[in-house]
Amino acid sequence: MSVERQLTNKRILITGGAGFIGSNLIERFLTQGNQIVCLDNLLTGHYKNMEGFQGNPHFTFIEGDIRDLAICRKAVDGVDLVLHQAALGSVPRSINDPLTTNEININGFLNMLVASRDANVKRFVFAASSSTYGDNYTLPKVEENIGKPLSPYAITKYVNELYADVFSKIYGLETIGLRYFNVFGRRQDPNGAYAAVIPKFVKQMINHESPVINGDGSYSRDFTYIDNVIHANEMAATVQDPSALNQVFNIAFGENTSLNELFETLKLELSQFDAKIFSVQALYAQNREGDIPHSLASIEKAKSRLNYHPTFDVKSGLKEAVQWYYQHLK
């Protein structure tokens, strides 16, 4: 049974707060009486994601880069808790530009750990990734069983876990890693070469364009709605069980959906707003380099130690997300 633990009266740094996940976390924790500091370089984040917070006396925005240690030190000053979401995402982007991915995701992550340690931050909760499972194709994915990474991005996210573990053991910084599985929902950017599959498909279908499915559509993912991820961060930020500290947890719903099933569900939901969308057909292309065939999380560890109990399955999440996108992309 889920018991919500609210985070209140804290000073929280959210890195990457102008991005998709970060801005949703800011929205949640501002409403609970916290002071929020957002650090973002706006490389992939957007001012528009923070429009609802500007002018709020409890919100501070620092435009800066986690590759700059001085900026990291400024951002963590007086902070109780760090929710580290800043990263350069996307497997294809990391394959095209491994240097920048490494600089931001590893050097930047280390800067944040050092700054947090030196500022006596109590807890550091960070966005880890299901890409860490690499070439271990066993399903469901269990935290302790990973394979070799299949992309530069996956390497960086695994190195994050290693660094967090070392900082927890040597310096006593409380760290918790949340391995996100294909998060989707409001404010996820549909634009650009590295847009995630769901917002990209939605935008194309709204424009009556055929989305491109890589492979034959049988590849599957554990798509995870944003509200589940907000819940997970709240549980990680407030958990008192010592067995939950210096750990990584799968954050997902625990069901997988094929790309073909995803397309059909999106078509069904979108056609309620525009009947023409029901006639849109998908196109098929080659599989992408670095993609794994199937992803499905075991969330038993997060349930038992964090009291993580996701409430949105993929269909209920897509219903909410499609409604938001149709209002904002039209």
In the set 47, 137, 153, 325, the catalytic residue is 153
Question: Helix/strand/coil (H, E, C) string of 91-121?
Answer: HHHHHHCHHHHHHHHHHHHHHHHHHHHHCCC
Residues contacting residue 326 through CB under 8 Å, at least 6 positions apart:
202, 206, 270, 273
Beta strands 35-40; 59-63: pairing state: parallel
Q: Is there a contact between 85 and 43 (Cβ–Cβ < 8 Å)?
A: no
Q: Name the β-bridge partners of 141.
A: 297
Q: Which of 149-158, 229-238, 321-330 has the lowest mean pLDDT?
A: 321-330
CA distance linking residue 73 with residue 112, whole number of Å? 8
The answer to whether 118 and 74 have CB atoms below 8 angstroms apart is no
49-59 residues labelled b (16+ CB within 10 A) or e (exposed): bbeebeeeeeb
Mean of per-residue pLDDT scores for the chain: 95
Give dist(CA 94, CA 99) in Å, integer. 8
Residue 70: pLDDT over 50: yes
Quick: pLDDT tens for 213-257: 999 999 999 999 999 999 999 999 999 999 999 999 999 999 999
DSSP symbol at 297: B
CA distance 99 to 283: 32
Closest CA relative to residue 222, chosen from 105, 317, 96 = 317
Q: What is the pLDDT of residues 5-36, one digit of tens each?
A: 788 899 999 999 999 999 999 999 999 999 99
Q: What is the pLDDT of residues 267-321, one digit of tens each?
A: 999 999 999 999 999 999 998 776 788 999 999 999 999 999 999 999 999 999 9
Look at residues 43, 115, 121, 118 and name the one whose alpha carbon lies nearest to residue 78.
Answer: 121
Please tell me the predicted confidence (pLDDT) of residue 1.
39
The predicted structure's pLDDT at residue 157: 98
Residue 85 corresponds to which tokens in the numbers above?
Answer: 């979401």
pLDDT of amino acid 74: 98
Distances (CA, A) of 283 to 17, 134, 185, 259, 269: 34, 27, 23, 12, 19
3-state secondary structure at position 60:
strand
Res 288: pLDDT: 78
How far is the C-alpha of 131 from the C-alpha of 150, rounded, in Å? 8
Confidence (pLDDT) at 194: 79
pLDDT above 70: residue 3: no
Segments making up each domain of the chain, as ranges = 11-184+225-254+296-312
Instruction: Examine the residue annotation and report whether 194 is marked as an active-site residue of this protein.
Output: no
Residue 4 is predicted with a pLDDT of 65
- Report, as an integer, the average pLDDT of 103-131: 98
pLDDT class for 43, splitting at 50, 70, 90? very high
Distance between CA atoms of 110 and 124, rounded to whole angstroms? 12
pLDDT value at residue 2: 46
> Tokens 């860490």 label which residue?
132
Q: What CATH number is given for 11-184+225-254+296-312 in this structure?
A: 3.40.50.720
How many whole angstroms separate alpha carbon 303 and alpha carbon 168? 22
- How many percent of the chain have pLDDT more than 90? 89
